[in-house]
Amino acid sequence: MITHIVLLSPAENVTVDEFEAVLADAAGFPDEIDGIVDVHFGADTIPESMGNGFTHALVITFTDLAARDAFLVHPAHDAYAVRLGPVMSQVAIVDIEKPGAPAA
């Protein structure tokens, strides 16, 4: 299993509702792209101020590295990135692997 973690913040000229509406569009990925186990997003809820300006996270779980790699070049991902770019001010992405996890 591969977990794709995207940390984001909305652009200054975008409301939180507008930003979250674009994030919510990612929920359709499992219907469009094979190998996606789960998609979820949300606002940071930690009471400590440790987010370095990031206010939201988008988390996508893949069956394996091949599924993640296919996602990265999929037209649905490209189209989503075009919609997301103008509404975000910053982004950081990390992918982690759960060793020994069975494929879903």
- Is 103 domain-assigned? no
- Is 70 domain-assigned? yes
pLDDT score of 99 = 80
Phi and psi, residue 76, nearest 5°: -65, -35
pLDDT at 32 over 60: yes
- Is 101 domain-assigned? no
- Is 73 domain-assigned? yes
**Domain containing residue 81:** 2-94
- Is 44 domain-assigned? yes
- CATH number of the domain enclosing 40: 3.30.70.100
Instruction: Tell me the C-alpha distance between 37 and 40, whole Å.
Output: 10
Instruction: Tell me the C-alpha distance between 100 and 30, whole Å.
Output: 23
- Is 18 domain-assigned? yes
> For the ranges 26-30, 32-36, 99-103, which has the lowest average pLDDT?
99-103
Q: How many helices (H) and strands (E) does the chain have?
A: 4, 4
**What are the start-end ranges of the H helices in the chain?**
16-24, 29-32, 65-72, 75-84
Provide the domain count of the chain: 1
- Is 104 domain-assigned? no
Residue 102: pLDDT band (50, 70, 90) is low
pLDDT score of 46 = 82
Averaged pLDDT of the chain: 91
